[in-house]
Amino acid sequence: MAIRSFLILFILFFFSSLNPILSLYEDQVGLVDWHQQYLGKVKQAVFHTHKTGRKRVVVSTEENVVALLDLRQGEIFWRHVLGSNDVIDGIDIALGKYVITLSSGGSILRAWNLPDGQMVWESSLRGPKHSKSLLLVPTNLKIEKDNIVIIFSNGRLNAVSCIDGEVLWEKDFEGESLEVQQVIQPPGSNLIYVVGFASSSLFEMYQINALNGELLKHESAAFSGGFLGEVSPVFSETVVALDSTGLILLTVSFQNGISFQQTPISNLVKDSFGPAKIIPSSVTGIFAIKMNAVTIVIRVTDENKLEVVEKTNHETSISDALPVSEGQQAFALVQRAGPEIHLRVKLAHNWDDNLLKESVKMDQHRGLVHKIYINNYIRTDKSYGFRALIVMEDHSLLLLQQGEIVWSREDGLASIIDVTTSELPVERDGVSVAKVEHNLFEWLKGHMLKLKGTLMLASPQDIAAIQSMRLKNSEKSKMTRDHNGFRKLLIVLTRAGKLFALHTGDGHIVWSYLLQSLQKSKVCQHPIGLNLYKWQVPHHHAMDENPSVLVIGKCGPSSDAPGALSFVDTYTGKELSSLSLVHSVAQVIPLPYTDSTEQRLHLLIDADKHAHLYPKTPEAISIFERELSNIYWYSVEDDNGIIKGHALRGKCTGEVADEVCFDTRELWSIVFPSESEKIIATVTRKLNEVVHTQAKVIADQEVMYKYISRNLLFVATVALKGSGEIGSVTPEESWLVAYLIDTVTGRILHRVTHHGSQGPVHAVFSENWVVYHYFNLKAHRYEMSVIEIYDQSRADNKDVWKLVLGKHNLTSPISLYSRPDVITKSQSYFFTHSVKTIAVTSTTKGITSKQLLIGTIGDQVLALDKRFLDPRRTVNPTQAEKEEGIIPLTDSLPIIPQSYVTHALRVEGLRGIITVPAKLESTTLVFAHGVDLFFTQLAPSRTYDSLTDDFNYALLLITIVALVAAISLTWTLSERKELQENWR
Amino acid sequence: MAPIARLLLLALLSTALTISSGSGDGYTINGRVKIPQGLGTKGFALPGKTSNVKVILNGGQIVTYLRPDGYFSFQNIPAGTHLIEVAAIGYFFSPVRVDVSARNPGKVQAALTENRRGLSELVLEPLRDEQYYEIREPFSIMSVVKSPMGLMVGFMLVVVFLMPKLVENMDPEEMRRAQEEMRNQGVPSLASLLPGGGRN
SS (H, E, C) A464-529: HHHHHHHHHCHHHHCCCCCCCCCCEEEEEEECCCEEEEEECCCCCEEEEEECHHHCCCCCCCCEEE
pLDDT of residue B47: 47
C-alpha B74/C-alpha B78 separation (Å) is 11
Nearest by Cα to A758 from A787, A795, A794, A721? A721
For residue B134, being part of any structural domain is answered with no
Same domain, A766 and A686: yes
Spell out which residues of chain B touch residue A78, defining contact as CB-CB under 8 Å.
51
Count CB neighbours of A74 within 10 A. 17
B136 is a domain residue: no
On whether any CB of chain B is under 8 Å from the CB of A780, the answer is: yes
Same domain, A657 and A687: no
The answer to whether residues B167 and B118 belong to one domain is no
Question: Which of residues B96, B129, B162 is at a domain's end?
Answer: B129
Q: Are residues A822 and A871 both part of a single domain?
A: no
Q: What is the ipTM of this complex?
A: 0.83
Show residues of chain B in contact with A781, CB under 8 Å. 95, 113
Are residues B99 and B163 located together in one domain of the fold?
A: no
- Mean pLDDT (whole number) for B110-131: 84
Looking at the fold, whether B156 and B183 belong to one and the same domain comes out as: yes
Q: Is residue A161 part of a domain?
A: no
Burial class (CB in 10 A: 0-12, 13-18, 19+), A497: buried
Integer Cα distance of A834 and B85 in angstroms: 8
The reported pLDDT for the residue numbered A539 is: 74
Instruction: Tell me what pLDDT residue A688 has.
Output: 84
Q: Report the CATH number that the domain containing residue A538 is assigned in CATH.
A: 2.40.10.480
- Same structural domain, A928 and A800: no
Give domain status of residue B116, yes or no: yes
**A934 contacts chain B (CB < 8 A):** no
B51 contact residues in A (CB cutoff 8 A): 78, 113, 116-119
Query: Does residue A571 belong to any structural domain of this protein?
Result: yes
Considering the domain architecture, whether residues A503 and A627 belong to the same structural domain is answered as: no
Q: What is the model's pLDDT at position A5?
A: 44
Residue (of A557, A599, A556, A554) closest to A581 by Cα position: A554
- Report the mean per-residue pLDDT for chain A: 84
Q: Is residue A53 part of a domain?
A: no
Quickly state the pLDDT bin for B162 (edges 50, 70, 90): confident
Encoded amino acid at A869, one letter:
L
- Residue A701 sits in the same domain as residue A593: no
Claim to verify: residue A559 and residue A491 sit in the same structural domain? yes
A898, B61: Cβ pair inside 8 Å? no
> Distance from B196 to chain A by nearest Cα, in Å?
31
pLDDT more than 90, % of chain B: 5
Instruction: Give SS3 for A246.
Output: coil
The answer to whether residue B2 neighbours chain A at the CB level (below 8 Å) is no
More confident residue, A90 or A545: A90
Q: Which residue of A has its CA nearest to B86?
A: A858
A25, A120, A781 ranked by CB distance to B68: nearest: A120
- Number of Cβ within 10 Å of residue A169's Cβ equals 17
Residue A463: domain span: 428-477
Residue A523's pLDDT band (cuts 50, 70, 90):
confident
What pTM does this model have? 0.86
Question: Are the beta carbons of A584 and A563 closer than 8 angstroms?
Answer: yes
Residues of chain A with pLDDT > 70, as a percent, come to 90
Last residue within a domain, chosen from A243, A277, A311 = A277
Q: Does B112 map to a domain? A: yes
Same domain, B121 and B145: no
If asked whether residues B101 and B27 sit together in one domain, one would say yes
Task: Please report the pLDDT score of residue A40 as a whole number.
Answer: 92
Q: Examine the domain organization and report whether B74 and B151 are in the same domain.
A: no
A708 with A849, same domain: the answer is no
Closest Cα partner for B121 from B70, B53, B68?
B70
- Which pLDDT score, from 0 to 100, does residue A44 have? 92
pLDDT higher at B56 or B136: B56
pLDDT tens digits, A626-639 = 888 888 999 998 88
- Please state whether the peptide bond connecting residue A760 to the residue before it is cis, i.e. omega within 30 degrees of 0: yes
Q: Is the pLDDT of residue B21 over 80?
A: no
Burial class (CB within 10 angstroms; exposed 0-12, middle 13-18, buried 19+) of A434: exposed
Rounded-to-integer distance, Cα A663 and Cα A647, Å: 9
Which one of B63, B82, B92, B115 makes the best mutation probe of the A interface by having the most chain A beta carbons within 10 Å?
B63
Choosing from A257, A277, A297, the residue where a domain stops is: A277
Q: Report yes or no: A775 at the B interface, CB cutoff 8 Å.
A: yes
* Residue finishing a domain among B129, B150, B177: B129
Q: What would you report as the CA-atom Rg of chain B, rounded to the nearest whole angstrom?
A: 36
Q: How many domains does chain A have?
A: 6
| Residue A162, pLDDT score | 87
Q: Are residues B125 and B155 in the same domain?
A: no
**Considering chain B, what percentage of its residues have pLDDT values greater than 70?**
66
- What is the tens place of the pLDDT at every residue in A315-369? 888 888 888 877 788 889 898 888 889 999 988 888 888 888 889 998 888 988 9
Question: SS3 string of A201-215?
Answer: CEEEEEEEECCCCCE
Determine contact: B80 vs chain A, CB below 8 A. yes
- What residue numbers bound the domain in which B22 lies? 2-129
Can you tell me the distance from the alpha carbon of A469 to that of A463, in angstroms, rounded to the nearest whole number? Answer: 10
Q: Which of A107, A119, A726 is the closest to B83 by Cβ?
A: A726
Q: Is residue A256 within 8 Å of A263, Cβ to Cβ?
A: no
Q: Do the domain assignments include residue A131?
A: no
Rounded average pLDDT over A44-62: 84
**Looking at the predicted structure, is the pLDDT value of residue B16 above 60?**
no
Same domain, B157 and B73: no
Q: Do A834 and B67 touch (CB under 8 A)?
A: no
A896 touches chain B (CB under 8 A): no
pLDDT tens digit sequence for A638-664: 888 899 999 988 888 766 567 788 888
Same domain, B101 and B162: no
Query: Rounded distance, CA B67 to CA A112, Å?
Result: 9
Between A66 and A146, where is the model more confident? A66
CA distances A790 to A507, A690, A700, Å, are 41, 17, 18
Does the pLDDT value for residue B26 go beyond 50?
yes
Say whether both B42 and B68 belong to one domain. Answer: yes
CB of A587 within 8 A of CB of A556?
no
Q: Say yes or no to pLDDT of B18 above 70.
A: no
Residue A73 lies in a domain: no
CB atoms within 10 A of CB A107: 20
Residue where a domain terminates, one of B129, B158, B175: B129
Euclidean distance between the first and the last CA atom of chain B, given in angstroms as a whole number: 104
Q: Give A794-807 pLDDT, tens digit per residue.
A: 766 556 666 666 65
Average pLDDT over chain B, rounded to whole? 72
Which residues, numbered 699 to 718 in chain A, qualify as contacts with chain B under a Cβ-Cβ cut-off of 8 Å? none
Q: Is the pLDDT of residue A742 over 50?
A: yes
Give the C-alpha separation, A863 to A234, whole Å: 57
What was the pLDDT predicted at A11?
Answer: 40
B104/B179 same-domain check: no
pLDDT tens digits, one per residue of A896-936: 888 899 988 899 999 999 999 998 888 999 999 999 999 99
Q: What is the pLDDT of residue A542?
A: 61
Residue B59 in contact with partner chain A when CB distance is under 8 A: yes
Q: What is the pLDDT averaged over residues A63-90?
A: 91
Angstrom distance (rounded) from CA A475 to CA A465: 17
Q: Do B46 and B95 sit in the same domain of this protein?
A: yes
pLDDT at A321: 85
Q: pLDDT tens-digit profile of A940-979?
A: 887 777 776 667 777 788 888 988 998 999 899 999 999 9
Q: pLDDT at position B105, please?
A: 65
Confidence of residue A886 (pLDDT cuts 50, 70, 90): confident
Q: Clarify whether residues A619 and A709 are in a common domain.
A: no
Going from the C-alpha of B135 to that of each of A27, A32, A326, A464, the distances in angstroms are: 10, 19, 62, 18
- Beta-carbon contacts of A676 under 8 Å, excluding residues fewer than 6 positions away, are A719, A720
A569 CB within 8 Å of a chain B CB: no
Domain assignment present for residue A292? The answer is no
Strand order in the sheet with A924-929: A34-36, A933-938, A924-929, A912-917
Task: State the pLDDT at residue B175.
Answer: 77
Q: Is A538 helix (H, G, I), strand (E, B) or coil?
A: coil
* Contact in structure between A183 and A152 (CB atoms under 8 Å): yes
d(CA A768, CA A822): 11
What CATH number did the domain enclosing B47 receive?
A: 2.60.40.1120
**A549 and A636, same domain (yes or no):** no
Highest mean pLDDT among A95-104, A141-150, A435-444: A95-104
Residue A978: inside a domain:
no
A206-238 tens-digit pLDDT:
888 888 888 888 888 888 888 887 888 888 888
Mention every residue, 6+ apart, whose C-beta is less than 8 A from residue A500.
A410, A412, A413, A491, A492, A494, A509, A511, A512
Cβ contact, residue pair A834, B66, below 8 Å: no
Q: Which residue of B has its CA nearest to A860?
A: B89
Please tell me the total count of domains within chain B.
2
Mean pLDDT of A178-182: 85
Note whether residue A776 is domain-resident. Answer: yes
The alpha helices in A603-761, defined as continuous H runs, are: 618-626
Tell me the backbone φ, ψ of residue A978, rounded to 5 degrees.
Answer: -65, -40
What is d(CA B66, CA A323) in angstroms, rounded to the nearest whole number? 35
Task: Please report which helix (H) or strand (E) contains residue A840, including its range.
Answer: strand A835-840
Domain co-membership, A227 together with A263: yes
Q: Please give, rounded to a whole number of angstroms, the shortest distance from the CA of A127 to a CA of chain B.
A: 9
Domain assignment of residue B135, yes or no: no
